[in-house]
Amino acid sequence: MIDIFVFGIAIIIAAELFLITLVLWLRSSCPWLITWLDRSPKIDPRGLDAFMEHGWDAELGWIRKPNTQHNETGRDGVQTSYHLDQNGARLNPGFENRAIDILAYGDSYTFARQVNDDETWPHILSKQLDVNVANFGVGNYGLDQALLRLEREYEKYPAKIVIIGVVPETICRIHAVWKHFSEYGNTFAFKPRFILNGSQLELFRNVINTRDKYSRIEEYYDTLAQHDYFYHRKFCRDLFTFPFTFSLIRNWQRNSALILKALADRLNITKDAAFISVMNRNIDMTVELFDCPECTDLFARICHRFKNFCDTHDAKPVLVMMPQLMDLMRIKDENHYYKDLLTKLSEDMTVIDLAPALLASGAPEDLYINDYYGGHLSKLGNEVAAKTVAQACSDMQIHMRT
């Protein structure tokens, strides 16, 4: 009897050691397998120096710095480049010396990653309308950050039409204050967020707003965890802690599938299976939040703040929803999970959903780039976006002239 008991204990210990070894081995190629090490990740000082110099912003978290440029190589070896002008807007070739007529704020889909300066939809929109569209998009921005930047900068760059363009995943981004809790490993990305207090929006300002605070994150950890939607709902659930076997069982569906896909990728049986799994799970969470009344209420009230700001400055607000490829595929399968919210918002402001135009423009794979960032719009995709937005802006310009 004792021998059986000892044998059983030995099996349990061996299984635990094997699982620990496996997870730690896979982490280097699959950073989404998070462990106790990720609860308080070490901040690389050299990486932080580069971030502070090239992207940090005390109020918004991060930003693109004026008079900078960068070359990118896509997954298929395609070379592209982008340039920022003296205002911190993306270069708009041929319109550099013209007054700003339209502002475009938003995330990387507004900035237009993985295409050149003369292939972005704000640039194409400039050519179609013969006006200067200033592109202030910033990668990984939420609707909240885009709006806060607009409010901060509008007096310097006033315009009669203001566009905020975001991906559906922005409903997740507006619920985050430390992206590491939802995008594991994104340890430099701290941000502000709006919080609903009854029917009122309250701004929770960026906590890590000086360089020295990056070395003292533990002091602010509880505050960050309290105000980040994903800390308990995602981060803690996914965390491998001792015993690892219990962590595996506790979140079996997610962790077992991710381990198997990461292992297949590591052994070159598959390619990017783990990444695709993570992206699909992110879309699942986006769908879940669009089905949450409290979450959509926050989204709607941020949009109302955007509208009220524009009304105060005699400008016309335009919200553009730009689905990622995985969003579009689900919409194509008749799961248009953000449609009802946009329909409601359109009662008070101009709202453009790019999904119908993209679906009507040919094979979806031609409209997106197979890149490292989840698939941004290709040159053709940017052309479709510009054409769709141009009609709404043209109608506004006619209305303002009359």
Fold of 9-401: Rossmann fold (3.40.50)
Domain ranges of the chain: 9-401
The pLDDT of 381-388, averaged and rounded, is 97
The pLDDT of 80-105, averaged and rounded, is 97
Confidence of residue 373 (pLDDT cuts 50, 70, 90): low
The pLDDT of 196-217, averaged and rounded, is 96
Write out pLDDT tens, residues 312-332: 999 999 999 999 999 999 999
Cα separation of 181 and 230, whole Å? 6
Residue 402 has pLDDT above 80, yes or no: no
How far is Cα of residue 263 from the mean position of the Cα atoms in its chain?
27
Confidence of residue 399 (pLDDT cuts 50, 70, 90): very low
Query: How high does pLDDT run on average in the chain?
Result: 94
Residue that is written with structure tokens 């299976």 in the block:
273
The pLDDT of 211-219, averaged and rounded, is 96
SS3 287: helix
| pLDDT number for residue 75 | 67
Look at 81-90, 172-181, 270-279, 391-400 and tell me which has the smallest mean pLDDT.
391-400
* Exposed/middle/buried for residue 83 (C-beta within 10 Å: 0-12, 13-18, 19+): middle
Q: Is the dihedral of CA 146, 152, 157, 158 positive or negative?
A: positive
| 203, containing H or E segment | strand 200-204
pTM of the predicted protein model: 0.95
CB atoms within 10 A of CB 277: 19
Asked whether 59 and 192 are in contact (CB, 8 A), the reply is: yes
Write out pLDDT tens, residues 112-147: 999 999 999 999 999 999 999 999 999 999 999 999
Confidence of residue 401 (pLDDT cuts 50, 70, 90): very low
Q: Is the dihedral of CA 8, 13, 18, 24 positive or negative?
A: positive
Write out pLDDT tens, residues 15-38: 999 999 999 999 999 999 999 999
